Structure 1
Amino acid sequence: MTTGGVEEKNKKKKTACVTGGNGYIAAALIKVLLEKGYAVKTTVRNPDDRAKNSHLKVLQALGPLEVYRADLDAEGSFDDAVAGCDYAFLIAAPVNLTSDNPEKDQIEPSLRGILNVMMSCVKSGTVRRVVLTSSAGVVCIRPLEGDSHVLDEESWSNLDYVTAEKPPIWGYVVSKVLVEKEALRSAQENDISMVSLCPVLIVGASPVSKVYTSVPAALSLLSGDEAAFEMLKCIEKTYGGVQVVDLDDLCRAQLFVAETETASGRYVCCGFNTTVVEMARSGHLLEKPRVCLSSTKLVREGFEFKVKTLDDTYDGLIKYGKTLGILPW
């Protein structure tokens, strides 16, 4: 009689904390982790809000999922959620794109929040790696002349340029740059392994029933939503193109950089680079991207994107849009 089955049964599940469990990205990552056999602990500001958290109840059918109350502004509130975890995926972040005072409403809360969560990771004594989900906004918002720019992890958005030009999402960009640098400083000071992922425009189906920005923007050419289409054009103007990654690929990349011991530093997460014109196959905007974001580092280390074309992206996205009511037909 072999003991392999008994050993496998007794082997402790890996445990991951995912902050911001009622968000679009976090909910999808929780689903992937549970399907991979992880035990998951997630945080939300108000566990009693059934409307925002109903998808977590559904996800609990997939595996062990515990929901904790935590607030980025409340020092120590992430301690219980992070305690005993092997990995911490930091996704929760303040998002206030319409504030008249981004310094007060976006930047300062973001910095307080990242330091709060990082200290919980330090106190846990168990976290092998922190994975920070950042944004391509930390890479490519900088003065660039002409076309055919290829940017990677070596590039940082220029905050002097951002604060001078003040694009519509300038406060968000500044907060993301400062948060990533502050998280890295904290990790180095406290001897914690940390990597950051910088995803581009994220599209794809998530367990949540409400989404903002990326999915409505990507579907605006079909939905006719003028405000969402203006957002898509704003993304192209600000980023020098429309860089896209499928949500499932992003979640796989998050898990990949967590589990790959040699992973380090920053990773751009971009499935492909396109433009509004290519998405619409008509119009008078950019015909080709001025800026392409390169995920060569991620691919070189062994990751493979499953979704690499617009057609592949829209196959699943249209179905999700119908489910959400963004597309009525």
Structure 2
Amino acid sequence: MWTGSDRLRLFRADLNEEGSFNEAVKGCDGVFHVATPMEFGAAVEENIVLTQVPLFYEFQESYVQSHIIDPAINGTLNLLRACLESKSVKRVVFTSSISTITAKDSNGEWRPVVDESCQTPIDHVWKTRANGWVYALSKLLTEEAAFRFAIDNGIDLVSVITSTVAGPFLTSNVPSSIQVLLSLLTGDPELFGILSAVNARMGSIALVHIEDICRAHLFLMEHDKAEGRFLGEDLNQAPSEISSKKLRDLGFEYKHGVQNIIHQTVIGCQGKKFLGEDLNQAPSEISSKKLRDLGFEYKHGVQNIIHQTVIGCQGYGFLPPIGS
């Protein structure tokens, strides 16, 4: 067992305070700027997302800009300034999100292949304000500002576009990405709405295991040819394919039949227009070819991802135990 002094040092730092990270990154070769928490149930989301009428748009834009976007951008730039000040940091790896890309072209048609270049237009996010739009907008604008600063100041910045992250977790709460994914089982209307927005934009649900996406971050930090944006995604599935993995095949036997639960939930949410796209096919291939071409290999397939996710959520009490 290693002690904190061997491999871990803790610093007091605040992204909103310029210079706050100077001491933390001093002497470092690489810095990871990791994911933004997704608190979809927070009051800000309720106030902003659920009041989508023209009368409130000006207030919404002002609130989002001042309370979410500006702090996110300023925090990222403060960290990059600290890296620049250090004179030692050789590369920064930034955690982006699949919410920054879209499978549809400018005409609204499905692209055959979706990669890092298929970025969601910022004005489209402002205009449509689909479920989860505040998070998507924040990630888009923050990443844009980060690359602009990096280019202007000669910082080697690499971005990892994470898809829906699942698998085991150590947090005190079930991660939001897992709650969204498992809304196929829980039927939570708000989270199902977010899943619907993802499916409408991407045509499928892209999955990645937490271990694989962490390994991808490390891989890109160390690879001398890593440059620009990389999509971290093991595979993409239509919602019906996720549910039809038949948790029974993974050893699960629910009293009321999980297939029936999923079927009724999906049909009900289609009726309420939570899911409006074809659930039986993925019209676009979401590709992480750029990452694979550098030599990265994924370890976890979809069955393992879902299996570990469900087991973890059962242990936490988020899903009922087998046979209940």
| TM-score bracket relative to the smaller structure | 0.7 to 0.9
Matched, 1:294 2:287: yes
State the aligned residue count: 271
Matched, 1:247 2:190: no
Q: Distance in 2 between matches of 1:325 and 1:77?
A: 38
- Within 5 Å, give how 1:151-170 maps onto structure 2: 151-170=114-133
Instruction: Give 1:323 deviation, angstroms.
Output: 2.8
Matched, 1:69 2:61: no
Q: Distance in 1 between matches of 2:35 and 2:10?
A: 14
Instruction: Give 1:104 deviation, angstroms.
Output: 2.1
- Within 5 Å, give how 1:61-140 maps onto structure 2: 64-91=7-34, 93=36, 95=38, 97=40, 98=45, 100=48, 101-140=63-102
> Structure 2, unaligned stretches of length 5 or more?
49-62, 245-262, 268-277
Q: Between the two structures, name the one with larger relative contact order (CA 8 Å, sep ≥ 6).
A: 2
1:8-39 CA-partner distances (Å, limit 9, x unpaired)? xxxxxxxxxxxxxxxxxxxxxxxxxxxxxxxx
> Structure 1, unaligned stretches of length 5 or more?
1-57
Q: Judging by fraction of residues, say which structure has more helix.
A: 2
Question: Aligned-residue CA RMSD in angstroms?
Answer: 2.5
Partner of 2:159: 196
Q: Distance in 1 between matches of 2:67 and 2:128?
A: 19
Q: Distance in 2 between matches of 1:106 and 1:240?
A: 28
Partner of 2:309: 317
Instruction: Give 1:170 deviation, angstroms.
Output: 2.0
Report the AA paired with residue 300 of structure 2: V
Report the AA paired with residue 68 of structure 1: F
1:289 is paired with a residue whose SS is coil
Instruction: Give 1:265 deviation, angstroms.
Output: 0.7
Q: Judging by fraction of residues, say which structure has more strand.
A: 1
1:80-116 CA-partner distances (Å, limit 9, x unpaired)? 2111111100015475650523222221111111111
Partner of 1:39: none
Matched, 1:280 2:243: yes
- Counterpart among 292, 315, 318 of residue 326 in structure 1: 318
CA contact (8 A) 1:96 1:102 kept: no
TM-score (ref. length: structure 2): 0.76
Instruction: Give 1:263 deviation, angstroms.
Output: 0.7
2:11 is paired with a residue whose SS is strand
- Mean CA deviation greater in 67-76 or 297-306: 67-76
Report the AA paired with residue 310 of structure 2: I
% identity of equivalent residues: 32
CA contact (8 A) 1:152 1:268 kept: yes
Q: Distance in 1 between matches of 2:34 and 2:143?
A: 12
Instruction: Give 1:124 deviation, angstroms.
Output: 1.2
Q: Distance in 2 between matches of 1:277 and 1:172?
A: 26
CA contact (8 A) 1:219 1:321 kept: no
Report the AA paired with residue 309 of structure 2: L
Report the AA paired with residue 86 of structure 1: D
Partner of 2:143: 180
Q: Distance in 2 between matches of 1:235 and 1:315?
A: 22
